[in-house]
Amino acid sequence: MSKPLKQIHLAAHFPGVNNTTVWSDPAAGSHIEFSSFAHFARTAERAKFDFLFLAEGLRLREQGGKIYDLDVVGRPDTFTVLAALAAVTEHLGLTGTINSTFNEPYEVARQFASLDHLSAGRAAWNVVTSWDAFTGENFRRGGFLPQEERYSRAKEFLTTANELFDSWHGDEILADQATGTFLRDAGAGSFVHKGDQFDIHGQFNVPRSPQGRPVIFQAGESDEGREFAASSADAIFSRYATLDAGQAFYTDVKSRLAKYGRAPGDLLILPAASFVLGDTDEEAEEIAHQVRRQQVSGATALKHLEFVWNRDLSAYDPEGPLPDVDPLVAEEHISRGRAQVRMYRDPVAIAREWRGLAEANKWSIRDLVINTGNRQTFVGSPATVARTINDFVQADVADGFILVPHITPGGLDAFADTVVPLLQEQGVFRTEYEGTTLRGHLGLAHPDEKRSERAAS
């Protein structure tokens, strides 16, 4: 008998600040006005997506002393946006990226428990560990955490937050019929946590929320990050959405679960994915090429090269050849506040490789950045895109995808109208929401079920 088809999970990443959004397109709108968030969320819900996803940056990134290109438009606060979206949606999960290095467990647990109540069980927390001292300057202990300690803090942060989520059991508020008053068990919410990172005790003031705990996401990719996800997360937001890289990451992370007593279905792998649709595959390829050119202007191409070269390259012509000078390898980096600094471990080798590519293909600086940068993940007619997404999920590249459109906020509309119905016809994507909570959409057990299963075994 053949294996039953996996059901696909789909989510919508609000594009906002990054080099994805093509702001020059007449259809591009605000990324900070509520109407943009509301349009995006409503489209995702109309398409029966599992959740909406917000990334986060706690400081505007800088390069060469200037705010990094698209960051000039600012970054609104995650909880405020998600709480507002809870009011205009009914089923859509609401995932917020919240840093464990610069925040405190009590406040974050309180915010997520509140969001879970307000949304009737739709909250999720993407625990990130970005540690850079530049971002830390915004907080009272700026830059206080060495990189190698950030996962110790993240782990203890999550453990502590879970203790707070679990500090109410759900039956503490008792109505006294005789007197018409409500009584609260005095022990409800009391907690004590003593550890290396946190030494706190007190009383948590938000009753147990519908999901018990928010759904936990993780987005780091180091070995420590993968272990953290395998031990403690419900889902991973990754950047591996191609066939080979996706399968390798999927296999690696899922194989780490058994030693924590967890099954493969307990941790979903959900890579970020971009897409371009056309009436035909050829038309989509043509549009995809245009979109990449719009995403990488001459100025953006130079900034990208400066990021690798770690030098001011403003005197170079982006339509001309690559610099002859080598990248500057130094402690101090030209870019501040970008977590991806580690992506280029050996800039001199990369420069050599890129010069070779540019020469062989007669590429200018801009051509090089366009051609070596991320290609859109799914390009084609709706039928091609639907088929590829399904093939990838069935081949264990992922359990689904977090889609990042290139137009804010309307870039999801065509996908909802053309690709989703095809996935539904194939029987691999829901036609209606079956449950009301995000855990339900993702097929994840409620923490209380997990606890009673453990007690029974």
**Shortest Å, Cβ 304 to ligand FMN:** 18
Largest CA distance in the chain: 86
In the complex, what is the shortest distance from the CB of residue 306 to ligand FMN, in angstroms, rounded to a whole number? 21
Q: In terms of CB distance, is 150 or 304 closer to ligand FMN? A: 150
Query: At closest approach, how far in Å is the CB of 101 from ligand FMN?
Result: 8
Segment holding 154, helix H or strand E: helix 150-165
| Residue number closest to ligand FMN, CB atom | 220
Shortest Cβ distance from residue 243 to ligand FMN (Å)?
A: 18
Residue 18 Cβ, how far from ligand FMN at the closest point, in Å? 9
Closest separation between CB of residue 228 and ligand FMN, Å? 8
Is the Cβ of residue 69 or residue 367 nearer to ligand FMN in the bound state? Answer: 69
Q: Which residues bind ligand FMN (CB under 6 A)?
A: 55-57, 97, 99, 128-130, 219-222, 224-225, 237-239, 272, 339
Q: Is 165:206 a contact under the CB 8 Å cutoff?
A: no
Which CB sits closer to ligand FMN, 222 or 394? 222
User: Of 104 and 221, which has the nearer Cβ to ligand FMN?
Assistant: 221
Instruction: Please say which residue, 168 or 240, places its beta carbon nearer to ligand FMN.
Output: 240
Least Å from the CB of residue 55 to ligand FMN: 3
φ/ψ (deg, to 5) at 16:
45, -125
Q: 349, 329 in Cβ contact below 8 A?
A: no
- How many other CB atoms are found less than 10 A from the CB of residue 365? 24
Measured CA to CA in angstroms, residue 290 lies from 20, 24, 286, 376, 385 at distances of: 13, 12, 6, 12, 18
Which is nearest to 416 in space by CA: 10, 27, 46, 41? 46
Our CB check for ligand FMN shows the closer of 130 and 390 to be: 130
User: Residue 448 class from Cβ within 10 Å (0-12 exposed, 13-18 middle, 19+ buried)?
Assistant: middle
DSSP state of 451: H
User: Which residue lies nearer to ligand FMN by CB, 29 or 220?
Assistant: 220
Structure tokens at 78: 């995650």
Query: Least CB distance from residue 277 to ligand FMN, whole Å?
Result: 23
Q: Could you please report the per-residue DSSP string of 55-85?
A: ---SS--EETTEE-GGGGG----HHHHHHHH
Strand 9-13 versus strand 66-67 pairing type:
unpaired
Place of tokens 């850079």: 132
Nearer to ligand FMN, 73 or 414 (CB): 73
- Any bridge partners for residue 218, and if so which? 127, 236
Q: Rounded CA gap, 59 and 30, in Å?
A: 20
Least CB distance to ligand FMN at residue 357 (A): 25
The residues, ordered by sequence, that sit 6+ positions from 18 with a Cβ below 8 Å of its Cβ are: 55, 70, 404
Nearer to ligand FMN, 384 or 408 (CB): 408
d(CA 393, CA 310): 38
